[in-house]
Structure 1
Amino acid sequence: MAESAPDDSINKYGAAYKAAVRGGTQDRVTLKEFHIREPTSPIDLSGNRIFHLLALHGHSEIVTELLDLSSPPHGLSTRNLKGDTSLHEAARFGKKVATAEAMLCKDGSLISARNQLGESPLYLAAAYGHRDMFHFLAEKQFSKNEWRRNDGCTILHAAVMGEYYCIYMFSKFKYVFIIEFTLHDLHSNGKLISCASSQPGLAFEIVNKYPDLISKHDQMGNTALNLLVQSPSTFRSGTIYSCRMLCSSAFIPQDMAAIIIYIWFFGEVGRCPGDPENPGDSIPGKLTRFLIRCPLFAKIYDAKQKHQFAMKLAKCLIKREKKWRYHGDSGEDRSDIRISGPLLENANMSNEKNRIKDPLFQATKLGIVEVVANILEDFPGAIAMLDENCKNILHLAVEHRQFEVFEFMKTKKFPIATMVLEVDKNGNTALHLAAKLGDHRPKNVAGVIEQMSWEVLFFQLIKDHSMPQVFSQQNNKGQTAEEVFDKTHKNLLGMAEKWTKETTNTLMIISVLIATINVTGAFTIPGGYNQDSGYPIHLNNVDFSLFMVYLVTALIFCILTLGASISAHLSRFQKDDFYISLPLKILIAKTSLFYSLVFTVMSIAQGVVLETNGDIPFLFIVAAIGGTCIIWFLTIAIYVDITFPLYHYLTHLFIQLLPYSWQAKLNSFFR
């Protein structure tokens, strides 16, 4: 019976529902008649009343007219099935502040009404990023109880979860629109419009207006900074716009182009590049406006603004949290804060999930090197912090295979050798954790051979920064780091061996086929032989010399491919072979095969020129050149997509041989 009631309401009050959605002049009569007759009746399946729908669609004038029909107003405080009042809907959709103002003038108690999740209208305005609505409701709000919902999330949590970091001012012709930043706010009326400027958004405004909320945590122990750090895609290091993530790309050349656009075409947040007084009229500003009209470029611009403002917000939150996070008691009220870790391991914690999470540990585990760098540069003493498992940040970076975090610590000359010596509650040093193959496979690893190579490299790097006594040190299971590595990497080593042999077999077969084509072409030359002398007819022709050069070069690369493939195929497949030997051999084999294919095609094209004596129609030449350029472009793109993971690995391996000052610059470049 309860389920049939809403269905009957839709049939019976369909006219009122449509009128509330449209909100036209003719609809006002229908709405007034319905409101006088049945002000509290639901008109849709969600249990919404007329005021809910009017607030949803922003018909503030009709709301005012209906409110004047009765005193006190009927149906205004009635809730739908989710427990939302009409003011909740006005705050959620935020179309007109006048709607909320009219409602509060009639019933001021709506400001403190909560739905089933414990959300107040103020919370919903923050959760959906409606700045004007939020500030209007904040002026009417006198109780801090409406800052939170049932799970402990505050209005600052809501703004951070919604990613409302900045405001963009988009301009088109003579019109200016101020839009709260979200991933979907790049279009106006279905058409993309260009950016004039950007500025901090609602999350920053809440931080400045209610600084006490920075240290507040929800039932899961998350502060706003914790929520910000929990999303790696909020920062550049966790997206495709970071060079370290290229290997996880579906098509690497495409993301390479995106990174170039990200870095070189769009300037810093808060301004378009060019003339600071009138940036839109400068050449860089016009270029930015032109590019951002394309959805692909707009997506990249959107991401850059998001990353830079998120980092600014993170810095702001870090500085505000430092008093209680890293320097102990500051005189602030911390009655609702619970801190976990070895320093308080004897404390009586009623619920494990309520423990406050440290953003430094979170950022380290997720590889958000920007946040880690900011915390450690501002508060170097945080390097000594331990988590609940007695692990320092080096342990966590190693365990989660966050290479960039380790590189940052190394180039900043933190005491890595001392940190490696420290053990967690299981007796593992950082070298043990580097040796253990866990469930934390890096996203920037393409295949099994790359994964095995990175595992060996990481283990070797930690080993190079360890004191000799660490090599023989045993954990609580009586295992040294070498023993842990051999045991946990046994299956991966077997898969890498199988993959290598299958790959080298394929490379050898293809190289032999290409070599056969070139050998055949060398003895069946274009134009044939002179029957009197036995020499090729085109022997003295420059085109014939080029033809032979291409053939011989292709054969040389085929032999090089064959040699490198055989050498890799017959390797011992010990872990040290994956450090440099096998990756280098496979890269040489793939690269040589690529060049052998290139020179084979060039020799075929040169053979066509010899056969026709250069007498080729002009249109055919133009079409051939155009087609060749397209084919070469696609071929190079495919080659880059196939070989980049190995180049990426060998580049980082080479960087490790350089001085620390050079390493810092190169790592910053490749980041």
Structure 2
Amino acid sequence: MKDTPWGIVQVLTKDNYDRWKNQMKIYLMMQKLWTVVQTESDSVSTNVGAGSSNEIDNNELALCIIQSACGSKILDEISHLNTAKEAWNFLAWRYGSELEATPDIEQGRVGDNVRHCIKLYKCVEEGDEKGVELFLSLAEGRRALFLTSDSDRRTVLHVAAIAGHVKVVEVLVREGEDILLKMHDNMGNTALALAAYLTGKTEVAECMVEDKKGGRIRQNLLAIANNDGEIPLLLAADRGHKRMTRYLFSKTPYKVLNEQDYDKRVLLLERCIREEILDVALGLLELYLELDQLPPESLPDVFLALRALAKMPYAFLSGCQFGFLHNFIYNFLRVEETFEISHEANFSGFRFCSPIKNVLLLPVMFLGIRKIYEQKRTHRVVQQILSYMQILVKKLNNSQLQRAFVYDAMLDAAKHGIVEFIESMAKADHDLLWSTDNYKRGIFSYAILHRKQIVFQLIYNLNGRKDIIKYRIDVFGNNLLHLAAHLGPSSDVNDRAGAALQMQREFQWFKAVEEVVSLKCKEARNDDGKKPRELFTETHKELVKEGEKWAKQAAKSFALVGILITTVMFAAAFTVPGGNNQNTGVPIFLDYDVFTTFLVADAISLFTSATSVLIFIWILTSRFAEKDFLKRIPFKLLAGLGFLFLSVASMMVAFCAALGVVLNHYWAYKRLFIGGAILGSIPVFVLVPSQLRLIYEILLYTLSNPIRRGSN
């Protein structure tokens, strides 16, 4: 908490008034100024002719102390006041009452006029449908059913809908029927509207929308708007209740939605896109926002609602980072071409290419296939939405494109790596590829700054204008290579295991961009007078240190394991199983094949472990320049790990062979040998998977630069 210059009174903020008031009162009393605050305002005047000079001085001093103990925003509120008492009273009124507790408006409260029905409300809150039925059977029960609270005009059905007790809602709807369902609170919300907005519990909505006894849908209930003109469907979409939104969209009649204002339909589209209810958004585009029938001046509003897709990489295939198995499953999953919007989990399209594949993939049904299916279904929906956006963009002129922020959407897509969005919009209007911001940075500048590999690789497909991109500079004098020299975002840098491989990725980006730009750009200086390579060295200084530290720590750890293996295997070579002949010194079991296996495995393990130790020592004494992280350091780590894994495997083979030699003449030999072999393989299965990602990344990213075209 920040103190005043005197260090006694804390600075007044919006949430510490009580503490501040006590401290300030004590301080004013110490300064003999508290009587000034207690004096009536009329007796103290800033007019020189009124009041004594001492009173005026004390008032000004007290006012100055109070003002000095206020934050800048609060000071602006009292700066016009002339006396200390006025300032004191204003602060007491303004901040002394802000911490007073009040009931939650959305949750509502029981009004005084329905206190005699408190038992009914208690049963509703607790979900006691038997108690509700019993109360409604009484003489006063029917009247209480339609009674509204004087505080918010909500009925007991409103309370039940918010509580979310389905059985209680069924009882109340059965007793109150359409009259009760259509009653609204002081905000114009029916019980269905509150359920759609506050809880999103679809089962409650079903009780009110579907008249199972009469076998009908209460369509009029779905069309009732609140004071803001929003029907339940709009309210559910605003809160992001996906199942509720899908249910209400499937039940709301075409006539109701079609009669909604154009602005309301666009608002619903915007909310569905924002909350990722994409199948409903597609349904709106297909049924209620026919682009051919919209006036030209309304088209930008539709795109504004859709542009949120440019910030949703997870809705596109390019934003999903599948592993090998999940990628395999994704490619073989089929999804339906047309989508039926339903709030129920529908997996009718959840099938594979043939019954044979269904059987083969049954063992992996629990490896996230349902989630992958939903993702692929989302990708298909988004592709259809993009086709509508293509048609829309073709109809917009340049001023409308700017008004709809289409150029901004292209840059947002480049920032998030959504290549599908960029390609789709470029097909509609190829000039959108040259979108730039106020700093004269375009799509490829954003791709480089945010390390979006797929978007950057589009530069290889450009034709005549590629040279223009190569020479482009921003307002700070930076060309593309200068931008590549900046340290990438943390989300990209941390994508690889270890700081050394992170540094490798940064240098790969720099080399990939260096191959694209002209020779002139490599030596060009920006407004700070720095060349790209100089800027790269400056911005990656800390990452180089971290990479060196990580590589040395890894080398030390692996070298220690290698030294232990070397020591053990060296000793084992001279203390062979079964011992030696006392006369000749030759091993007793020398003629056994399994003994030969032991000797060969021991020798391999000894030499490979010693080699791995030497390689790791080589790493510890190596130079750690920027370019060394590109291939030299990763290959050394890979070689050291390879020899280390081979030594561990050979050591386990030697162990099993030694066990076979010792137990050769015992009746339980086979069982013990099999058990020993299984236990001996555990270190291999522990060590290899733990370092598998590191080995995979070194191989994948070191053999070729993945940033270049055709490398991934």
TM-score range, shorter chain: 0.7 to 0.9
Spell out, residue by residue over 1:310-346, the C-alpha distance to the aligned partner (whole angstroms, 9 max, x if none).
4424433431332256x536xxxx5xx8549xxxxxx
3-state SS of the aligned residue for 1:605?
A: helix
Cα deviation digits, residues 603-623 of structure 1 (max 9, x gap): 112111112227444444454
CA distance 1:11–1:589, change in 2 (3 Å): farther
Q: How far is the alpha carbon of 1:450 from its aligned partner? A: 1.2
Equivalence for 2:314? 233
Give 1:309's aligned residue. Answer: 380
Q: Which residue of 1 aligns with 2:394?
A: 323
Distance 1:570 1:11 in 2: 86
Q: Provide closer, same or farther for how the CA distance between residues 627 and 223 of structure 1 changes in structure 2, counting only shifts above 3 A.
A: farther
Q: CA–CA distance in 2 between the matches of 1:520 and 1:45?
A: 87
Counterpart selection for 1:204 from 272, 282, 307: 282
Could you tell me whether the CA contact under 8 Å between 2:123 and 2:129 is conserved in 1?
A: no
- What SS class does the counterpart of residue 358 from structure 1 fall into? helix
Change (3 A) 1:647 1:379: farther
**The residue matched to 2:224 in structure 1 has which SS?**
helix
Distance 1:578 1:46 in 2: 70
Cα pair distance change 1:2/1:125, threshold 3 Å: closer
Could you tell me how far apart the structure 1 residues matched to 2:395 and 2:684 are? 59
Task: Specify whether residues 207 and 142 from structure 1 end up closer, same or farther in structure 2 by C-alpha distance, changes over 3 A only.
Answer: closer
Partner of 1:645: 697
- The structure showing larger relative contact order (alpha-carbon pairs under 8 Å, at least 6 residues apart) is 1
Are the equivalent residues in 1 in contact too, given 2:509–2:707 (CA < 8 A)? no
Once the two structures are TM-superposed, the CA of residue 120 in structure 1 deviates from its matched residue by 3.5
**What residue is the counterpart of 1:66 in the other structure?**
176
The answer for the alignment partner of 2:233 in structure 1 is 122
Judged with a 3 Å threshold, the aligned counterparts in structure 2 of structure 1 residues 297 and 533 are, in CA distance, closer, same or farther, namely same
1:208: how far off?
0.8
Checking the alignment, whether the CA contact within 8 Å between 2:394 and 2:428 is kept in structure 1 is no
Query: What is the CA-CA distance between 1:237 and the residue it aligns to?
Result: 3.0
Shift of 1:90: 5.2
In the TM superposition, what is the alpha-carbon distance from 1:110 to its structure 2 partner? Answer: 6.7
1: CA distance, partners of 2:639 / 2:184: 74
Aligned to 1:267: 334
Partners of 1:386 and 1:393 within 8 A in 2:
yes
Alignment of 1:194-593 (within 5 A): 201-211=279-289, 223-241=304-322, 256-264=324-332, 266-270=333-337, 271-273=349-351, 282-285=355-358, 292=365, 294=366, 296-306=368-378, 308-323=379-394, 328=398, 339=403, 358-376=408-426, 379-410=429-460, 416-442=466-492, 444-593=495-644
Quick one: structure 1 residues 309 and 142, their matched pair in 2 at CA, closer, same or farther if it must change by over 3 Å? closer
Q: Once the 2 structures are TM-superposed, how far is the Cα of residue 512 of structure 1 from its aligned partner? A: 1.5
Q: Is the 2:507–2:626 Cα contact (8 Å) retained in structure 1?
A: yes
1:50 corresponds to: 157
1:510 deviates by: 2.0
Cα 1:274–1:646 change in 2 (3 A) is: closer
Residues 472 and 480, structure 2, Cα contact 8 Å, conserved in 1: yes
Structure 1 pair 558–654 and aligned structure 2 pair: CA distance change class (3 A): farther
Amino acid at match of 2:457: E
| TM-score normalised by the chain length of structure 1 | 0.73
Which residue is 1:6 aligned to? 109
Q: Which amino acid aligns with 1:283?
A: I
**Displacement of 1:205 after TM fit?**
0.7
Q: Secondary structure at the match of 1:154?
A: helix
1:622–1:299 CA distance, 2 compared to 1 (3 A): farther
Who is 1:187 aligned against? Answer: none
Change (3 A) 1:217 1:100: farther
| Bigger mean CA deviation after superposition, 543-552 or 362-371 | 362-371
Do 2:578 and 2:661's aligned partners in 1 also have CA atoms closer than 8 Å? Answer: yes
- The structure-2 alpha-carbon separation of the partners of 1:435 and 1:416, relative to structure 1 and needing over 3 Å to count, comes to farther
Paired-residue identity, %: 22
- Structure 1 residues 22 and 205, CA, compared in 2 at 3 Å: closer, same or farther? same
Q: Is the 8 A contact 1:123 1:146 kept in 2?
A: no
Shift of 1:234: 2.2
Please state how far the C-alpha of 1:582 moved relative to its aligned partner: 0.9
Equivalent residue of 1:111, what SS? coil
Cα distance change of structure 1 residues 629 and 534 upon mapping to structure 2, 3 Å threshold = closer
Aligned equivalents of 1:563, 1:485: Cα separation in 2: 32
Question: Which amino acid is the alignment partner of residue 602 of structure 1?
Answer: V
Unaligned runs of 5+ in 1: 166-200, 244-255, 341-354
Measure how far apart 1:447 and its partner are. 2.3
**CA 1:21/1:222 → structure 2, altered by over 3 Å: closer, same or farther?**
farther
CA distance in 1, matches of 2:125, 2:506: 63
Letter in 1 for 2:316: F
Pick from 270, 292, 298 the counterpart of residue 157 of structure 1.
Answer: 270
Instruction: Say if 1:405 and 1:380 are closer, same or farther in 2 by CA, change over 3 A.
Output: same
Question: What corresponds to 2:256 in structure 1?
Answer: 140
In the alignment, the residues of structure 1 paired with residue 150 and residue 130 of structure 2 have an alpha-carbon distance, to the nearest angstrom, of: 20
Q: TM-score, normalised by structure 2?
A: 0.69
Letter in 1 for 2:386: K
Residue of structure 1 equivalent to 2:48: none
Task: Tell me the distance in 1 between the aligned counterparts of 2:394 and 2:598.
Answer: 74
Gaps of 5+ in 2: 1-100, 338-348
Query: Whose radius of gyration is greater, 1 or 2?
Result: 2
Cα offset for 1:462?
Answer: 0.8
CA change 1:74–1:395 in 2 (3 A) is closer
How far the C-alpha of 1:499 sits from its partner, in A, is 1.8
Write the distance in 1 (CA, Å) between the matches of 2:375 and 2:682. 30
Assess if the C-alpha contact under 8 Å between 2:611 and 2:643 holds in 1: yes
* Partner in structure 1 of residue 194 of structure 2: 89
Alpha carbons of structure 1 residues 109 and 19: separation in structure 2 relative to 1, 3 Å: closer
The C-alpha deviation readout for 1:476-506, integer Å capped at 9, x for no partner, is: 2221111111111111112212222222222
The amino acid across from 2:607 in the alignment is I
Per-residue CA deviations over 1:72-102 (Å, capped at 9, x if unaligned) read x69811147xx74323135454545673488
Q: Distance in 1 between matches of 2:386 and 2:501?
A: 35
Q: Match for 1:36 among 143, 146, 152?
A: 143
Per the alignment, in what secondary structure is the counterpart of residue 112 of structure 1? coil
Amino acid at match of 1:371: F
Q: Secondary structure at the match of 1:495?
A: helix
SS in 2 for 1:573: coil
Residue 111 of structure 1 is aligned with which of 220, 224, 227? Answer: 224
Contact 1:274 1:285 in 2 (8 A): yes
Amino acid at match of 1:391: R
Counterpart of 1:87, as a letter, is L
Contact 1:421 1:466 in 2 (8 A): yes
Which residue of the other structure, out of 168, 178, 185, is the alignment partner of 1:78? 185
Aligned amino acid, residue 647 of structure 1: L
Q: Which amino acid aligns with 1:156?
A: L
